[in-house]
Amino acid sequence: MPLANVGKGDVAAHLRPTPDRVREALFSMLGSRGAVEGARVLDLFAGTGALGLEALSRGAASAVFVENGRAGQRLIAENIAKLDARHITHVLRSDATRLGALPPPLFDLVFLDPPYGKGLGAPALAAAGGSLAPGALIVWEESTTMLPPPGYKTVDSRKFGTAHITLLEATDDHS
């Protein structure tokens, strides 16, 4: 079922959808690692929720979407309703860089897709750190390859046009 469409994005709302070909390559990478099936997903800077919802469609157990923009929140709610996924999803209307305590259990898979070039990824990852399981996989999409902050290690990095996908793994000392 098609998700709510934002076309090429909404600059004013900071919505920049991950292109379909990038999403397919990303989920191929995640699938080869067994990272999706049964995962508890945290989708930071969720936008339309497409990445978290794609994970659910591929067997993730649940997803929490963090989005502070009203346009994004509306689109996520529409998409959750279209996919009848209310029972396994939660939308946090919050700034991803200022998360409070998130409910257990810990998250296994994190999508981190901040507005490009604004330096928001590392603070968001720090804010979520205490809610991540050791070994959690973080998918960080930015305009350049990202270096891992303390407590994380790079496991893969690929470039798709203007998008750079950096896969990080949380180590035991990430929180």
Domains in the chain: ranges and CATH: 20-170 (3.40.50.150)
Contact call for residues 69 and 13 (beta carbons, < 8 A): yes
Over 90: is that where the pLDDT of 57 sits?
A: yes
- At 102 the pLDDT is 87
Q: Quick: pLDDT tens for 73-90.
A: 999 999 999 999 999 999
Q: Quick: pLDDT tens for 111-147.
A: 999 998 899 999 999 999 899 999 999 999 999 989 9
- At 59 the pLDDT is 96
Q: What are phi and psi of 171, to 5 degrees?
A: -95, 175
Dihedral over Cα of 132, 154, 156, 46: its sign: positive
Q: pLDDT band at residue 162, thresholds of 50, 70 and 90?
A: confident
